[in-house]
Amino acid sequence: MKSTVLSCFFVALFAFQSVQAQERNVTGKVTSSEDGSPLPGVNVVVKGTTNGTVTDVNGNYALSITNGNAALIFSFIGLRTEEITVGERSVVDISLALEFTQLSEVVVSGLATTVKRSNLANTVSTVSAKDLVGTTSPITTDGALQGKIAGANIQSNGSMPGGGFNVQLRGVSTLGSSASQPLFIIDGIYVDNSQFSNGRSQANKATGGSAASSQDNNANRLADLNPDDIENIEILKGASAAAIYGTRANAGVVIITTKRGKGGKTQVNFGQDIGFSKALSFYGGADWTEEKLTTYFSPDDIPLLQAAKANGTYTDWEREVYGETGVIKNSRLSVAGGDQKTKFYINGSIADETGIVKNTGFQRYSIRANIDHKITKWLDISVNSNLIRSNNDRGWAGNDNSYTNYGYSLAYTKPYVNLFPDAQGNYPLNPVGENPLAVRDKAVNNQKVTRIFQGFNANALLINKAKTSLTVRYAGGVDYQNGYSLIWLPTELQSQQAEPNPGFAQDTRTEVLNYNSQLSAVFTLNAMEDKLNLTSSGGFVQLGTVARLSYVRGRGLPAGTSNPGRADVFQSDTEYTENT
């Protein structure tokens, strides 16, 4: 118990000190040791952390570090992993050589088969649990993958906690970013990573009130998965992945295997991470001079600027909005063990992250249970269960050009105007647009999700002879999610007062059930004294989706009311789809 408390204390102390340390940039170039050509897509990660990046098409990289003793780890498929201590250098170049031992590794290649990496037609990347989470566990799985997959383009959907990421393994599809997302499979369960409109673009009219918009700034649902549950990840990027998994895999496949129990003594592990986040730099919009004021606005405002600097009311609004210190807390407890017949793994975790903007944050509560049981010598089964609940306050940062967007309002806001509320909580008007502090403190962009993964697998070794074997495998699972989101722009907001029906609210509810069932058989033959190995497989896969999306939208709300049913202008709709 003492060692656990001390370890938690030192983790917290390290996280605190890392924030205080001065950041500096390290750049460099990665080349091939054979011909000196640049190597694009090489993973560059600070050892013991999740801070990483990938080299560009010219083999160049740039990374921020906080520790002069930091070591950089360079890795790429088929090349030897190298580790270099940075020291006082600001430029670290390196050449990577071929790694022949990896070519004998066995990787997952299809629904029921494995193959040596050297014989694989697909491009495959592997991320282990150690590589994924590093010393401290990231909050979300998609965030943990950043800088870990060679050649992958992983971009954040927004700056707020729990915002989710777009993962592109094979380039951008002409069908749009959603069509470029890979297929995710967790322990044989086909996972839905869809994004659903929450109504933000209708609230701020960012796209003229269109029904769906990338400016909704939705979170994808891969953020629900706890990274600490993951044992390893296989990424199939070859075109033949679609031939194995169907059209859903035209953008690649991400196969996630979670941790399982091992025979022996029961092991109990507890871990806790505490860290802090801050904006690394600001654009410096508050650097106003009399010359700048005269150029862009009016010289009549010069006395206001001088007075604000004299009486201390000159405010850097960018730092006021984005200058909070976010707190990251992640606690987890796992129990694993078993005997020769039955093994189990149970893990519970609580993740809590507050953002660098007030009233933003992400909380996730997760519990997982994986049980494996060997019924006979030739038959074994496994059951996987995972319950997740998350709560996400997204705020109003994003890429929409509307006054409810913090960044858009700040671009025009003068540092000598007063935007702070008075003693009664009333916010002053912003002469050039919406008051970003009022939006930050009063507007709501919230999403709550309950997620259930339930899987079942069975393996039957029907023939097991010296040179031949026949294995029949069944895998089935369901992915259920129930989501609720609320978008609310109160009546008293400055931008709403300009509307014919001030006050907007949208209540959106989603319920999606994805299910899959697959039966496969694998026959192997070893002939000519193991010089000839033949593997033949066949199977049947059934996939289905049942989805219900409903929303209630209203404009013209009574003061202090977020219920769209009480609006003057009321609209509702329900969409139901079922595909097999």
The number of residues in the chain equals 580
Q: How far is CA 64 from the centre of its chain?
A: 21
Give the span between the Cα atoms of 351 and 146, in whole angstroms. Answer: 19
Helix (H) or strand (E) holding 206: none
In terms of Cα–Cα distance, which of 196, 174, 186 is closest to 253?
Answer: 186
Read off the tokens for 377: 């010598």
**CATH for 1-99, options being 3.40.50.12780, 3.50.50.60, 2.60.40.1120, 3.40.50.880:** 2.60.40.1120
Distance CA 255, CA 370 (A): 17
d(Cα 394, Cα 357) in Å, to the nearest integer?
Answer: 10
pLDDT of residue 137: 61
Give DSSP secondary structure letters for 47-104.
TTSS-EEE--TTSEEEEEES-TT-EEEEEETTEEEEEEE-TT-SB--EEE-B-SGGGG
**110 and 537 in contact (C-beta within 8 Å)?**
yes
CA 271-446-568 angle, to 5 degrees, is: 165
pLDDT computed for residue 103 by the predictor: 43
Residue 192, SS3 per DSSP: coil
How many whole angstroms separate alpha carbon 384 and alpha carbon 145? 23
Q: Which of these, 352, 340, 389, 353, lies nearest to 368 by C-alpha position?
A: 389
The answer to whether 275 touches 136, Cβ cutoff 8 Å, is yes
Q: Are 78 and 102 in contact (CB under 8 A)?
A: yes
Inter-residue contact 190 to 183 (CB < 8 Å): yes
pLDDT in tens, the chain (580 residues): 434 433 443 334 334 344 444 678 899 999 988 778 888 888 899 988 878 888 887 889 998 888 778 899 998 866 788 899 888 888 999 998 876 444 444 445 555 555 444 444 455 667 767 676 665 566 677 666 766 666 666 666 666 776 666 676 655 544 444 556 788 889 889 887 766 667 676 666 655 443 444 555 555 667 788 888 888 888 877 666 666 777 777 778 888 889 999 888 999 999 998 988 888 888 776 567 888 888 877 788 889 888 988 888 888 888 999 999 999 999 999 999 999 899 999 999 999 999 999 999 999 999 999 999 999 989 999 999 999 999 999 888 876 667 788 888 888 888 889 999 999 999 999 988 889 999 999 999 999 999 999 999 999 999 888 788 899 999 999 999 999 999 999 999 998 888 888 999 999 999 999 999 989 898 888 877 666 778 788 888 888 999 998 889 899 989 888 888 888 888 888 877 777 7
Q: Give the three-state DSSP class for 359.
A: coil
Report how far residue 71's alpha carbon sits from residue 570's, in angstroms, rounded to the nearest whole number: 58
Closest residue by Cα to residue 463 from 530, 539, 523, 527: 523
Whether the Cβ atoms of residue 99 and residue 79 lie closer than 8 Å to each other = yes
Q: Give the pLDDT of residue 113.
A: 52
Whole-number Å distance between alpha carbons of 448 and 298: 47
Domain residue spans in the chain?
A: 1-99
Q: Single out the residue of 54, 139, 133, 142 nearest to residue 361, CA to CA.
A: 139
Give the global pTM: 0.74
Identify whether the C-beta of residue 482 lies closer than 8 Å to the C-beta of residue 433: no
Question: Closest by alpha carbon to 451, among 544, 493, 528, 388?
Answer: 388
**Contacts of 549 by beta carbon, 8 Å cutoff, 6+ apart:** 196, 508, 509, 510, 574, 575
pLDDT value of residue 172: 52
Residue 82, beta-bridge partner list:
74
The pLDDT assigned to 125 comes to 65
CB within 8 Å of 301: residues ≥ 6 apart: 293, 414, 416
Query: Which residues, in sequence order, are bridge partners of residue 495?
Result: none
Q: Which pLDDT does position 455 carry in this prediction?
A: 94
Q: What is the C-alpha separation between 471 and 477, in angstroms, rounded?
A: 20
pLDDT of residue 69: 81
Beta bridge partners of 80: none
Whole-angstrom Cα distance, residue 393 to residue 509?
16
Residue 40, number of CB atoms within 10 A of its CB:
17
